[in-house]
Amino acid sequence: MTQDLDGSGLNLGQVMGCDQIYMPKGWMSMYTISAFKPQTLLLLSPSPLSPLPSRSLSQVAGKPQLMALPAEGAIAGGAAGVVVETALYPIDTIKTRLQAVRGGGKIILKGLYSGLAGNLAGVLPASAIFVGVYEPTKQKLLKSFPENLSALAHLTAGAVGGAASSIVRVPTEVVKQRMQTGQFASAPDAVRLIVAKEGFKGLYAGYGSFLLRDLPFDAIQFCLYEQLRMGYKLAARRDPNDPETAIIGAFAGAITGAITTPLDVIKTRLMVQGSGNQYKGIFDCVRTIVREEGPPALLKGIGPRVLWIGIGGSIFFGVLERTKQILAQRRSVAENPNSFKLD
pLDDT digits (tens, 9 = 90+) for 94-131: 888 888 877 666 777 788 888 888 888 889 999 999 99
Tell whether pTM > 0.75.
no
Closest CA to 124 of 87, 158, 89, 85: 85
User: Residue 27: enclosing H or E segment and its boundaries?
Assistant: strand 26-29
pLDDT higher than threshold 80 for residue 224: yes
Say how far apart CA 63 and CA 59 lie, in whole Å: 6
How many angstroms separate the CA atoms of 297 and 88, rounded?
23
| CA 186 distance to own-chain centroid | 28
Q: Which residues, other chains included, contact 65 with Cβ-Cβ below 8 Å and sequence gap of 6+?
A: 55, 59
Top-ranked range on mean pLDDT: pick from 38-42, 106-110, 176-180: 176-180
Look at 25-39, 130-144, 212-226, 296-310 and tell me which has the smallest mean pLDDT. 25-39
Element (H, E) at 204: none
Specify the length of the chain in residues: 343
Sequence ranges of the domains in the chain: 12-63, 70-331
Q: How many helices (H) and strands (E) does the chain have?
A: 13, 2
Taking only the tens place, the pLDDT of each residue in 276-296 is 678 888 899 999 999 999 999
Average pLDDT, the chain: 79
Looking at CATH, the fold of the domain delimited by 70-331 is given as Mitochondrial carrier fold (1.50.40)
Higher pLDDT, 27 or 100: 100
Residues 104 and 305: their CA atoms lie apart, in Å, by 19
Give the whole-angstrom CA distance, residue 82 versus residue 330: 22
Structural contact between residues 273 and 205, judged by C-beta atoms closer than 8 angstroms: yes
